[in-house]
């Protein structure tokens, strides 16, 4: 989940702090040390997360775009200067533009606001901004919250719990969190005079934000400890009468294998990268020294056999997917996915809970191997339903004006070729008429009759006589109110003319 670190660099952040060991520092330096500890924790436990850095005072500045190289952010923290007064609303506008430009409005994002508890003064203060939310017009002057994308806001205050600024600012920060629509948090250190308290607070925040999922991938007697990135979350299935929450099991067991084309593109709820988990993890390892997209990534010893590597290679060569259980009556697929021509990853897609969630495969609990059935009973996917469908053609869908215009033009093209296209003309006319009646679009029938009469007046002199007769006949039938029954079918006018 992408994260934006929003660092306050106003003048109030440069206030001195006397540490318990007698040395003196600033709130800004304490914030930088805490952010570095935050990044160090991610480099060990969540190496795949994208982090961005933005500094703000009365204006905002994007100091580092989204990256997985946390050393770039650390080096940028050392070159941030002090600026003027605080404007949190301006900073939130900057975060919104930054996330929308990089990820769009469908990707969930986390925002860590690091400040000293000062909410600004005057018209740019947070108190004034929140007080005038209802007076804003939609547009550039609108308040940035709630964000146009899913976002969780965490506020980290580099200040003492008893400071007057914190007592006044805490309700305002809580209102910001409430406006996002998601559960955020406010973090205040127990003791500002201890640098260790700041770093511990940020490390705990990183641990709460990015809890890694550790489990076991098993197939028969083979198994491997794995990590899933991002960590899967519980799924709540809402029905008419109750809500049921499903949790991912620690044991992910392979039940069988199926061809990737037969799987198709079923509806899913999440997709995760599978990484082998070593028994012990080196705390001082550099995340940039490991290629996370390589087959042997995250394996502590290259000489140690890994079931994940074996499964990945087999699925990749055979173009197969492994059907796995991720919970009680809950399934998913493990497969090889390539983001380039040279490298590929072992991925897992989680389906919606239930065994009958892929129509063309049927009940997943009833799947078996081909040798369980005779040759004449073994078919191919997708399985065609035994019952005969009650419809013979696609339904009419008008989402945009161009679709309706295209259907009318198709009828007029057949009309100009009457009597050769008489059957096609009435077939398309009945199709459009039934759709209009179903939608209650009665004005379309009246308008279509006017179009037919206008076409009659514009027919060339060498046009067939049957063309004008059929158009007048169709226009009259469309105008009659007793023909507005959906079961009524327009039929051609019987004439003595022929196409010769």
pLDDT in tens, 465-495: 888 888 888 888 888 877 778 888 888 888 7
- Cβ atoms within 10 Å, residue 59: 12
Do the domains spanning 3-209 and 213-377 agree at the CATH topology level? no
pLDDT tens-digit series, residues 25-72: 999 999 999 999 999 999 888 888 899 999 999 999 999 999 999 999
User: 451 is written with which tokens?
Assistant: 């179009």
Q: How high is the pLDDT of residue 217?
A: 94
Residue 362, SS3 per DSSP: coil
Q: Domain residue spans in the chain?
A: 3-209, 213-377, 401-483
Q: Which residues contact 148 (CB under 8 A, 6 or more apart)?
A: 96, 100, 105
Question: Is the CB of residue 41 less than 8 Å from the CB of residue 203?
Answer: yes
- Length of the chain equals 500
- Look up residue 423 and give its two tokens: 């059957």
Reduce the DSSP state of residue 308 to 3 states and report it: helix
List per-residue pLDDT tens for the chain, 500 residues long: 899 999 999 999 999 998 888 889 999 999 999 999 999 999 888 888 899 999 999 999 999 999 999 999 999 999 999 999 999 999 999 999 999 999 988 788 999 999 998 898 888 899 998 988 888 776 667 889 889 988 999 999 999 888 888 999 999 999 999 999 888 999 999 888 888 999 999 999 998 888 778 899 999 999 999 988 888 878 888 777 788 888 899 999 999 999 998 888 888 888 899 988 865 444 444 433 334 444 444 444 556 788 999 999 999 999 999 999 999 999 999 999 987 667 888 999 999 999 989 888 888 988 887 777 776 666 666 666 566 555 555 667 787 788 888 888 888 888 888 888 888 888 888 888 888 888 888 888 888 889 988 888 888 878 888 888 888 888 888 888 777 788 888 888 887 764 44
Q: Give the CATH class of 3-209.
A: alpha beta
Only one residue has tokens 């990737």, namely 260
| Cβ atoms of 222 and 232 closer than 8 Å | no
CATH architecture of 213-377: Beta Barrel (2.40)
Contact at 8 Å (CB) between 7 and 80? yes
The answer to whether the pTM exceeds 0.75 is: no
| Pairing label, strands 251-259, 320-327 | antiparallel
């Amino acid at each position: 989940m992408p994260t934006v670190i929003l660092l306050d660099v106003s003048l109030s952040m440069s206030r001195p702090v006397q540490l318990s060991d007698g040395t003196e520092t600033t709130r800004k330096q304490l914030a930088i040390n805490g952010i570095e500890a935050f990044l160090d924790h991610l480099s060990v436990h969540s190496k795949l997360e994208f982090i961005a850095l933005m500094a703000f005072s009365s204006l905002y500045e994007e100091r580092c775009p989204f990256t997985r190289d946390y050393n770039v952010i650390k080096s940028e923290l050392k070159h941030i200067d002090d600026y003027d007064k605080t404007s949190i609303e301006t900073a939130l506008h900057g975060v919104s533009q930054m996330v929308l430009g990089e990820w769009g409005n469908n990707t969930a994002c986390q925002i860590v606001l690091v400040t000293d508890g000062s909410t600004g003064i005057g018209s740019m203060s947070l108190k004034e901004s929140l007080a005038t939310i209802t007076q804003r017009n939609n547009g550039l002057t609108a308040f940035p919250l709630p964000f146009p994308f899913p976002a969780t806001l965490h506020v980290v205050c580099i200040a003492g719990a008893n400071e007057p600024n914190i007592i006044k600012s805490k309700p305002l920060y809580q209102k910001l969190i409430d406006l996002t629509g998601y559960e955020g948090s406010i973090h205040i250190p127990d003791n500002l005079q201890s640098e260790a308290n700041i770093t511990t607070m940020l490390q705990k925040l990183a641990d709460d934000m990015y809890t890694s999922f550790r489990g076991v991938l098993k197939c028969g007697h083979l198994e491997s400890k794995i990590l899933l990135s991002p960590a899967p979350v519980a799924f709540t299935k809402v029905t008419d009468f109750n809500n049921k929450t499903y949790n991912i099991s620690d044991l992910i067991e392979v039940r069988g294998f199926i061809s990737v084309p037969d799987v198709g593109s079923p509806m899913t709820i999440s997709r995760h990268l599978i990484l082998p988990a070593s028994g012990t993890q080196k705390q001082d390892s550099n995340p940039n020294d490991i290629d996370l997209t390589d087959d042997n990534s995250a394996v502590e010893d290259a000489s140690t056999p890994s079931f994940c590597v074996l499964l990945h290679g087999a699925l990749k060569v055979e173009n197969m997917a492994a059907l796995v259980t991720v919970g009680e009556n809950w399934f998913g697929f493990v497969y090889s996915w390539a983001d380039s021509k040279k490298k590929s990853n072992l991925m897992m897609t989680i389906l919606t809970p239930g065994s009958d969630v892929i129509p063309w495969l049927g009940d997943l609990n009833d799947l078996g191997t081909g040798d369980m059935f005779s040759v004449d009973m073994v078919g191919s996917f997708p399985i065609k339903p035994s019952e005969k469908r009650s419809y013979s053609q696609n339904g009419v869908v008008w989402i945009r004006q161009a679709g309706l215009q295209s259907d009318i033009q198709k009828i007029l093209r057949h009309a100009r070729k009457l009597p050769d296209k008489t059957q096609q003309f009435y077939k398309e006319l009945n199709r459009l008429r039934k759709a209009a009646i179903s939608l209650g679009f009665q004005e379309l029938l009246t308008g279509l009759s006017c179009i037919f009469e206008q076409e009659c007046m514009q027919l060339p002199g060498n046009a067939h006589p049957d063309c004008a007769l059929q158009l007048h006949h169709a226009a009259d039938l469309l105008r009659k109110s007793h023909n507005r029954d959906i079961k009524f079918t327009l039929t051609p006018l019987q004439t003595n003319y022929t196409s010769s």
